[in-house]
Structure 1
């Protein structure tokens, strides 16, 4: 770490698309200096540097790594393993977009390689104050014994047969698309909020269009999953990138013997509390300590996705400084998501319940 760098930690971003922009914003808001960037070709790197006001356009991954303290890997999924390993080998801390790797085995390789180096994965929905409030209330027994879970993550950006993206290609994106891309967020948030783990599941996948832009589609557009947890709860998950009208509809609901809690990330300043006699919606007021620390503006002033991403970056950099922030998603959590993704594909292929190994989840 170079204490004399402008803004403290020096950050290098690999990638030049939407996630690179998001990471650059979060890094700066969290007090770091975005020092350099690298995209897939020199012209794209130069364009990304100009658009994001990054002072240096790197000519190679090695050059980028040499100039920074932390590498943010925002490239297509196929490169996550190689680029993260290179950064780790050079002693750099790593923020790697999900999926951490395209296979569970490769994700575990990154967990093992990181050792004492801080490696985190931006499961940023954990960082909404009301998601933390739901977690605190469940942990305190506020809804009693957890009985059922319900969650969905619905988008429509691949609804039409002409819609195309590198994520559709299993070579670039991995064997799973819908679940690996957004279902991983959903199951991570459910396990985080409940403090419980999925131990077995059954699944069905659906591909809406056999071809996109003339190319065969070999990844799923939608997934339905039935789960059972270590604590004995049962639940259902629906993930789709072809749900017309839904842009980023991530919702979870946890029902217990004494009540229920629901969180909707499109209305992140609210939490629904269900009761047999009375149900109510609460806002960001009188929060538990961990939720309150993430509530950086007064209630009534909306907080959203970029605030959650900034909180994730802030906690990552705090961990690099030797602190232990609550709920920081590390490489082990990314490996956990990869294990669950492979279990979903195996269950859909075999038409049977699949046990989920416990490895790959941090305490």
Structure 2
């Protein structure tokens, strides 16, 4: 009689092993989230082998060494890598993601998933064929009160949607000397402000309301006509190069959109609004009530009624299961962006270890959806016409 098979490992006890491609600001966010989510950072591939060695040394800790890869082939050949986190300039995402999927790796790819619809479609098909987890960090979905709002909307609390409006405003490009690879369409893509932050607004509003934008009309503007050609760190300061280049990627944009149900929507996106650091704000107006969420004040939700309005605090009173799942500290102890990112990575790793997709995990299909919105935005802003979102 054959001996009994050993018990399967508890998925919760399996430590997912990850490597990061890229070593900039967002790579650092991924690094912290990997460890917060209980994963193990195996290695890093930076812009040069020398930079990889430096970053690996900085990211290593006693008992937790981080390897420095010489190139992407070395990373893909490492059997100790389950998940590849892609945190490189936008134009490189598609090539890295496609190769990682072909190697059987799970993938977390920074947004935009790709800078063309064709590339995004190819990546979604590749992810489907690979059968691995392929996710895009639309992490604002992971604010607990965003989950609360979505559950209330699905329960019909707000009635039929009548108007969806808001903005995403930043000021990190206000300085005429601010620059970096995002300004260069050869590295960042043809859209900057909308592809970078307007994509978050659209994803969040569509996901919360259940609506889909079917057409839009858009206008974009460049408020700083030329910027330093090289250098400059995103969100942190000015460039150092004396050579300047003409800017073609937008500093700000305004859009009108229509949804499948006929609701009208509008949003303003800017990276040159003084004093606004990361103000993702929206109001959702329904036939039975309204709601406002402000990402810079994520522990409260404004709920509007015809006779009275109220403020809902995170973790207070009756909460939906998804809000409870994502609440990690009691009310009054603020939760924010880094908590959202860690929760997103934890859900990716849960999908890797269990084979089940957690509620709301944004996948490559969501990245493709965003690429189609960016494509419609670019088309409309070029011809001034209402444009279908394919």
TM-score, normalised relative to structure 1: 0.95
- Aligned match for 2:279, one of 242, 246, 249: 249
1:158 paired to 2:173: yes
Gaps of 5+ in 2: 1-8, 229-243
Query: What is the aligned-residue RMSD (CA, Å)?
Result: 1.5
Equivalent positions of 1:344-363 (< 5 A) are 344-357=377-390
1:7 offset after TM fit, Å? 6.9
Counterpart residue number, 1:288: 320
Is 1:91 the counterpart of 2:124? The answer is: no
Deviation of 1:66 (Å): 2.2
CA distance in 2, matches of 1:157, 1:240: 10
- Give the drift of 1:134: 0.9
For the Cα contact (< 8 Å) 2:59–2:66, is it kept in 1?
no
- Does structure 1 conserve the Cα–Cα contact (< 8 Å) formed by 2:137 and 2:362? yes
Contact 2:17 2:39 in 1 (8 A): yes
Which stretches in structure 1 are left out of the alignment for 5+ residues?
Answer: 358-363
Per the TM alignment, residue 45 of structure 1 is displaced from its structure 2 partner at its CA by 1.4
| Counterpart pick for 1:107 among 120, 124, 131 | 120
Q: Which runs of 4+ in 1 moved over 2 A?
A: 50-54
Which residue is 2:87 aligned to?
74
- Paired with 1:64 and 1:230, the residues of 2 have a C-alpha distance of 43
The 2-side partners of 1:291 and 1:355 are apart by 34
Output one character per residue of 1:61-100: Cα deviation in whole Å (capped at 9) or x when no partner: 1111222010000011111011111111110000000000
Does residue 65 (structure 1) correspond to residue 76 (structure 2)? The answer is yes
Question: In 2, are the aligned partners of 1:21 and 1:52 still within 8 Å (CA)?
Answer: no
Q: Please give the alpha-carbon distance, in whole angstroms, between the structure 2 residues aligned to 1:259 and 1:356.
A: 28
Cα distance in 2, alignment partners of residues 62 and 268 from structure 1: 41
Deviation at 1:292, TM superposition (A): 1.5
Q: Which residue of 2 aligns with 1:329?
A: 362
Worse-matched range after superposition: 294-303 or 101-110: 294-303
Query: Which one of 328, 334, 357 corresponds to residue 302 of structure 1?
Result: 334
Report the Cα offset of residue 51 of structure 1.
Answer: 2.5
- Identify the residue that residue 361 of structure 1 maps to in structure 2: none
Aligned residues: 355
Shift of 1:3: 9.9
Aligned equivalent of 2:4? none
1:26 aligns with 2:56: no
1:122 to 137, 141, 157: 137
Matches within 5 A, 1:27-46: 27-46=34-53
Are residues 1:267 and 2:297 paired? yes
Cα 1:279–1:290, aligned 2, differ >3 Å: closer, same or farther? same
Q: Report deviation, 1:43.
A: 2.4
Cα distance, 1:291 vs structure 2: 1.8
Structure 2: how far apart are the matches of 1:324 and 1:100? 19
Aligned: 1:170 with 2:177 = no
Deviations 1:15-70 (A, max 9, x none): 00111110011111111100000011122212222232252111111111222010
Larger radius of gyration: 2
